[in-house]
Structure 1
Amino acid sequence: MKVMKWSVIALAVSAGTSQMALASQQSESKGFVEDASLDLLLRNTYFNRDYKDGAGDVRSWGQGFITTFESGFTQGTIGVGVDAYGLLGVRLDGGRGYNYGAMFERDSNGDPERDLSQAGAAIKAQFSNTVIKYGNQFPSMPVLAYDDSRLLPESFTGTLVTSNEIEGLELNAGRFTADSTMQSSSRDDVGLKSINVVGGTYAFNENLSTSLYFADNEDVAKKKYANVNYVMPFSSDQSLSFDFNIYRSDYDKDYVQAADTTFNDDGSVDELGARESHDNTIWSLAAKYSVGAHAFILAHQRVSGDRGYDYDIGDGGGSIWVANSYYSDFNSKDERSWQASYELDFSGYGVPGLFWKTAYVYGDNVDTGTGEGKEREFFNQVQYVVQSGPAKDLSLKLRNSIYRSNSDMREYYSPDLNEIRAFVEYPLSIL
């Protein structure tokens, strides 16, 4: 449920423009302490979901403290270092009956926790331009991506190798065995057995990049992902870009049976997942025309296969890198969706740091089992980052989603709602 980040795509495209080997990062290391950093992010988050049927409204307000330490690497052929973090979330509002479960887990009495905390660390080693890290970390790959869209970030425990030996080419390989969600202090509240990931991104030049990833989530799913991003510049402030994303997933039969099991009125089990194949394909194609301070986006997304696209099943709440992902991800069985959106950077009008995005997404053809599901979402987000002065880098973000669907879709996915999310963030560099 993340808004697709075009900045991530731009960074991938600009990662490199030749096949020449990079200068060694390790040879340029200054030392464990000399290259170290210690940062504190103060994050205040407010969520309010107003369900239009009048039942189950939720709201939650919390203050988060996110401390991250990253050491440098010791000098020598192989450098070693340590990364660590500490997380603390304090509930300011949202008691029993209103608490939003994705911000604060509930105790044994069903009441939301007053606070939650977690600490983690990872050891790392670097040789040339390759880093291997083991421990608690925040991976960000299309088939394994931590979620940071609420109060505190999701984290994973495992090993990740990242190699940048060739300019423009980044390779990743990893194995993770625990997933701690955003609302939990537990190290593994998802029950992840293991997930193996391999893949990478290559920038052919400053305008064209591709990505290919594969993940094997034990007893859950095997996923393949591919991306092509192309930017066609017309002038210094005008361009047309295309972004294509596709996932192919094969879900384990036992996982599908457990996920789709419902109960009949007499209490007997109705196993909807008892079919032989459980595959899914979801793809999206987006075109973005940028001119000066303005950007216009059109996107189309389709889902096919035996079921909808599942994520946040041990692979992280951010592992859905498709165009039409806002409150709804428009990822249900057989769904087709269209998006029209507009972005405005107020820097061109003398207000640097102010940015606005609005989008409308419509989806239909959903196989709900009872009929055709249809849904639509109207999304708005405004963000301002203070550019100078004592409050420099203070970020204010307000987003709103208005979600509506027909009766078949309401029973299948979500009731109608109006949602408000507000974030105030202030980063502090301590070291």
Structure 2
Amino acid sequence: MLNKRISLIALGMLSATQAMANDQAESKGFVEDSSLKVLLRNAYINRDYKDGRADKAEWGQAAIGTFSSGFTQGTVGVGVDAFGLYALRLDGGKGRTGAQGIDFFKKGDSGNAADDLSKGGAAVKFRVSSTTLTYGDQMPALPVLSYDNSRLLPESYTGTLITSKEIKGLELNAGRFTAESRKSAEGRDSGGLKSINVLGGSYQFTEQFKAALYASDVEDVLKKQYVNANYVFPIDKDQSLTLDFNGYRTKLDDSYVRESGATGDDNKIWSLAATFATGPHSFTLAHQRSTGDSNLGYAYGGYQKGQGRVGDGGNTIYLANSYWSDFNAEDERSWQLGYGLDFTAFGVPGLSYNFAYVRGDNITTSTSEGGTEREIFNQFKYVVQSGPAKDLSVKLRSSILRVSQKSSEYNVSGNEVRVFVDYPINIF
């Protein structure tokens, strides 16, 4: 059914003749609008577990090159996108690699992590008016299929994606992907994805109000729907209150329930965040709640090959209370108090700080009810504003996560530190 819907909406997108938007008419040409960028990334993650299991840490240096051509001129524009990725392991291994949540370098059959890895991909794209069809290797960023770029190398997917912006403020997306490249391994389908169909869009109703609705179908795994509503209340010149609602509903396929050993197949999870911004300060209060009969809670991300997970992208969790823990267990309720500070007002442009305290309770596992967890999150980020190192960023992040004994089947206590240094270079 979703395949038919995607075909129908794709036909509608490609045949649209709205006069309100026509990006293709503004095309300067294949070469003239081309860009080549290289991101140099040095990344380190350390996890100090508190339940007796071995600590894990990975450190690596990556080079991420991306090329995006312009579109040829004419009614139908044609272009090409491509990327090349390389990563070098710097930590030497010694049994500290292999944490599922870090996943810089996948362990091989020998049990050792690779010393380095490299891969690339390319896609051809076609544009009519303000509707683009892209086929090939891509990095989609949609609420129901969002690639993970929060580790050393990014994930990527192979398939077709149509994006239409024919009407001002409205973006429609429809796609089908049949392969997933794991961020820690070489190969176009190292993630083992069978297929995923995605469909949805977002609309900017007014300058203050925006909403989105999406759906996906991961073959033999689950069906998922997503809704978002975001409203910004201007209060004063430098004050505002933002309300942001996000919600997912997932329904596991019967075959996946049997193979994974899950109990139940349904989950609903939502979050509502209120952020008050005044000058350089922001204050956030958020609540998140998971309901349903699935002991997996809100299922997302991971890889079907080797992990038996969903395969819809490591960032497919557009929820308020997602830090080291996602606070997405069965029946879990969580609250967040957050604070942000922009140091520009204090004479240090480019420096920012974020803090969050999140507490979850009412966690259900196969052996207990009423479990709890809590996390303290801190992050400093600095972006160089000028000079030869302009746009170089340094991000230092830490999390302290404590999980009750009743919740040990769901999560694990520990201290985490992340250090990321990103240096983007625009070649042309």
Q: Provide TM-score, normalisation by structure 2.
A: 0.91
2:58 — aligned with what? 60
Q: Structure 1: which 5+ residue stretches go unaligned?
A: 1-19, 261-271
Q: Structure 2: which 5+ residue stretches go unaligned?
A: 1-17, 302-309
2:338 — aligned with what? 341
Distance 2:60 2:243 in 1: 38
2:124 — aligned with what? 123
Answer 1 or 2: higher relative contact order, Cα 8 Å, separation at least 6: 1
1:301 equivalenced with 2:288 (yes/no): yes
Say how many residue pairs are matched.
397
1:367 equivalenced with 2:354 (yes/no): no
2:377 to 367, 379, 395: 379
1:15 — aligned with what? none
1:310 to 296, 299, 306: 299
**Contact 1:29–1:75 (8 Å) recurs in 2:** yes
1:263 — aligned with what? none
Distance 1:109 1:158 in 2: 32
1:284 equivalenced with 2:282 (yes/no): no
Q: CA deviation at 1:52?
A: 1.8
Q: Deviations over 1:380-423 (max 9, x none)?
A: 0110000011111110001000000111212x122210000100
1:391 — aligned with what? 389
**Contact 2:98–2:107 (8 Å) recurs in 1:** no
Q: CA deviation at 1:21?
A: 4.8
1:144 — aligned with what? 145
Distance 1:278 1:23 in 2: 42
**Contact 2:21–2:168 (8 Å) recurs in 1:** no
**Contact 2:21–2:165 (8 Å) recurs in 1:** no
Distance 1:370 1:54 in 2: 20
1:189 — aligned with what? 190
Distance 2:265 2:34 in 1: 47
1:233 — aligned with what? 234
> Amino acid of the residue matched to residue 241 of structure 1?
T
Closer/same/farther in 2, CA of residues 254 and 94 from structure 1, 3 Å limit: farther
**Contact 2:364–2:407 (8 Å) recurs in 1:** no
The 3-state SS of whatever aligns with 2:213 is strand
Aligned CA-pair RMSD: 1.1
Distance 1:322 1:225 in 2: 11
**Contact 1:94–1:100 (8 Å) recurs in 2:** no
Q: CA deviation at 1:100?
A: 4.0
1:70 equivalenced with 2:68 (yes/no): yes
> Amino acid of the residue matched to residue 300 of structure 2?
Y
Q: CA deviation at 1:244?
A: 0.4
Closer/same/farther in 2, CA of residues 96 and 257 from structure 1, 3 Å limit: farther
Q: Deviations over 1:325-365 (max 9, x none)?
A: 00000000000000000000111111110010000000010
**Contact 1:96–1:112 (8 Å) recurs in 2:** no
> Amino acid of the residue matched to residue 282 of structure 2?
A
Q: Which is further off, 45-54 or 294-303?
A: 45-54
- State the identity %: 58
Distance 2:20 2:237 in 1: 28
1:322 — aligned with what? 319
Distance 2:341 2:365 in 1: 37
1:81 — aligned with what? 79
**Contact 1:21–1:167 (8 Å) recurs in 2:** no
Q: CA deviation at 1:30?
A: 0.6
> Amino acid of the residue matched to residue 352 of structure 2?
F
Q: CA deviation at 1:187?
A: 1.5
Q: Provide TM-score, normalisation by structure 1.
A: 0.90
**Contact 2:125–2:134 (8 Å) recurs in 1:** yes
- After the TM superposition, which parts of structure 1 deviate over 4 Å for at least 4 consecutive aligned residues? none
The 3-state SS of whatever aligns with 2:158 is strand
**Contact 1:375–1:403 (8 Å) recurs in 2:** yes
Distance 2:92 2:356 in 1: 29
